[in-house]
Structure 1
């Protein structure tokens, strides 16, 4: 492919060169098992501790509150399943939202099959959860509230601090899936009264297969993987030292560059949104207009299918994603877009473009110019658009 413009950074990001460079020695030179007692291995034990401290500092947490996992999905599963198991004598009610990542929604469904009750909160037209709705849903048997920090599809940032205060006031554990937000927006677990937080390395220019779960000291949730004594006996298995170095280095990089990097992403995002909304008719911007991730733009184009648009964009060297699940074999549109009130026929024509700091104005111009042609061509083949155009011309 002669041209590649990668605009799917919410799905995964390119591993930064300095991250890869930091990881390489731990594959071939410093390959010792951190649990061994000889000095060759103890070096890696110290390195793991250093990365744990680095991540904790980024959250305003303590290093012994960071537990390394294989990624965001494992962290979400751990937070929900282990909390349910540990606190089921107190109650079996969990509160979450209709727009969570499937790592939360499918885990919640799993728990429902085992006798737990789950309240799925509605959101407004921008994808925002109303903190008053969270408080109204609390019952005497509520043991956990789980609300994502920012939505992975439409980019809306949730009122996490307000929700955390409500959970804290009622003595209920509060978990947030911060996979999209960590490294993109400042997060302080104490200020937001967060008891558990999930994150993943490959969303912030780190490697795949590594993440962490922050667990506030004093939260009595169970071990998730049984076996050895790793991760303070809460998550067994030989530590993924290269991955841990990778996510630690990526975290250091993300925090150090956050202000400048996200300012550039926000500038390019707003330029993209402005051009698309002004130059492509019958288009809707999804998500909150201002309280959204700096690199996220999500649109719905009426009268077309998202899958066809993605194929045409790919042919033009542009990587994006659709809110529609057509590409995974389902005819159902995104659960997030349905939750914000979009009808099926509009939700099917969605496109998510997520930027990084390398995207230029020239890249955006190329993308929008291609998109204008693609949308026009697809609408030209749509009987629905033809009928609509006839009615407009009457």
Structure 2
């Protein structure tokens, strides 16, 4: 394989608060449905933040046997279901040579947080002196990647990326680069998170960035982020390989860039974000006037929203006025390490269906966020290229560029 290869997305799968698969999730995004509601888990009454975008009525035994459940933390369970949907849609089988040149790169910030939580409770609160022998393989951040590779016989490059809220975008960007460089023919990529447990929320409470009532990105009366959980997994495939087998191509991945603010562990930098945005367009060979939609990082915190709007306005200059930008976190919450993966679905919907997912919960215009944030209702618009932004704590930024297939 010589020269850069084109990269197609040929499969997608998800589990999140809006739906258990891609069609359900996109229907909810089109309707502007909110997946945020009161949290339900042990000791929730000891928290001051009691809302989140939880995957409701999740029963592991509906999807996995007892042996698998002993090994799969909640974040791995979500990943496995999303990966099976994505591979089924792609129509690929990884027998023989294809499995040798296919791999998995997934993002997660916390890994098996529910497993940590349960076992700390058992040891410290209940006084038990033993934990299950599979606790380490269940909680390790690479567990989901390893189980996906085993499930499908993927023997190529496989690893996990942990860059807080940019984990999924970094993972997908690296998968894209590997397929484009010819280092792999197919990569499964995306991310997952399941932090909605007592310890997970209690830790985030300490940061004082969480809302107690709603996620309202870009709205002047916003008061913080709301956590979500779930997974998104995609099949990134060498374009020629996909075309040769007559696969349906959902979108083309055309660019990726990452940057570090090198400035502050929690406060974002407009310059760092702008460098990643401009870098993704440059990598894709796209001009600002060719981008029709951006899926914003849009957390609903004062610091993120105005910084991101400044970065976009600067990167797009005179073209910023005609740009559509929305934050779907207003619906599915902030999935931390898994967030970019679920948000990529909104990008694919914009390219394929010409429907821009809205920023719901928008109540008051903010002069510092004076872009078209597609408030409250989805909009029809024909776009040929889109960006997906992710800007993480630690000042680590990752932006993907996609084109209509």
Q: Note whether the superposition's TM-score is higher than 0.5.
A: no
TM-score bracket, normalised by the shorter chain, equals: under 0.3
TM-score computed with the length of structure 2 as normaliser: 0.24
TM-score computed with the length of structure 1 as normaliser: 0.25
Structure number with higher strand proportion = 2
Instruction: Report which structure shows greater RCO (CA 8 Å, sep ≥6).
Output: 2
